Amino acid sequence: MATAGAFAIGIDVGGTKTKACLVRVDDGAVITERTEPTPCAAGGAAVLDLVRALASEIQVEALSSVGPVRGLGVCLPELVTRSGEPASSWNFDWRGLDFRTPLSTVAPVYLESDVRAAAFAEGWIGAGKGADVFVYVTLSTGLSHTLVLEGRPYAGARGFAIHFSGSDLVAYDAAGVEVRQNLELFASGKALGERYGELIGAPATARQLFNAEVTDPRAAKMVDQALNTTASYLGQLINTLDPERLVLGGGIGGEPAINRRLAARTREFIWAESVRNLPIVASTLGDNGCAIGVAALASKLRNEVVR
């Protein structure tokens, strides 16, 4: 692969794994990558140590092959403010942690929410390319979304316009009994793994659940309910935001077979008949989307394309 051009490092800190990529920001090509488990249980400082180690490793490789990097982009599976500060602790806590000082020894640091970074990349060179208005949804360890307008992820007033599933929805049945639904706690990858693990009496992951669907009727029922509930939320996102297309990413949403099933079910919950055939597609950048996007945002491309 030719390595001419400008380069940046993108690090996608996920709830399960952390991926670091050296990215050519002219076209989003990934030159090299490293992946390690994310030590969420050990706390934010341990996660920061991992990010610094991966950044340093990629920097050394960059210096020996392509030269200095323009920036270091890091994206988190958390709320991130418009000024680039972590603002939640769903997976680990970086609030109040000085992450900029150690990471700035590698390159100027840019922090972003993982879903916005991936949405930017998909709009730039992925499944959202060419759409003036699309919604990107990540269905993975956690669930989140971003509205993209003319290539720019919409952050909201505070940077919090990413979560559509973390708060309870309340309804009442025919007897007047309150029924609460929290999609994050019911159908996220983390929740599905935990729920299936309780069912079989052993630690499990969402991937194990989906793999067991063919042979275990309990798994099949759990998957069916999760997909149907998720589809109802996606339908309401479409009803609310009226995008040209819906792009589904993450370990669950980006899986083609799951994507097709979700797309079919989601159409039932789209109110306007003329919209029920809108494209609902899998992301094309896969696991690299967040790292590519945040690397580009950390580089000069941020000024040229996003601002």
pTM above 0.85, yes or no: yes
Query: Which residue in 73, 67, 29 sits closest to 51, CA to CA?
Result: 73
The CA distance from 72 to 53, in Å, is: 13
Residues 115, 161, 94, CA angle at the centre, nearest 5°?
Answer: 65
- The sign of the torsion formed by the CA atoms of 140, 145, 150, 154 equals negative
Q: How many CB atoms lie within 10 A of CB 67?
A: 10
List, for residues 130-179, the tens digit of each pLDDT value. 999 999 999 998 899 999 999 999 999 999 999 999 899 999 999 999 99
The CA distance from 297 to 212, in Å, is: 39
Strand-strand pairing, 152-153 and 143-149: antiparallel
The CA distance from 263 to 256, in Å, is: 10
Check pLDDT > 80 for residue 228. Answer: yes
The CA distance from 225 to 173, in Å, is: 18
List, for residues 26-80, the tens digit of each pLDDT value. 999 999 999 999 999 999 999 999 999 999 999 999 999 999 999 999 999 999 9
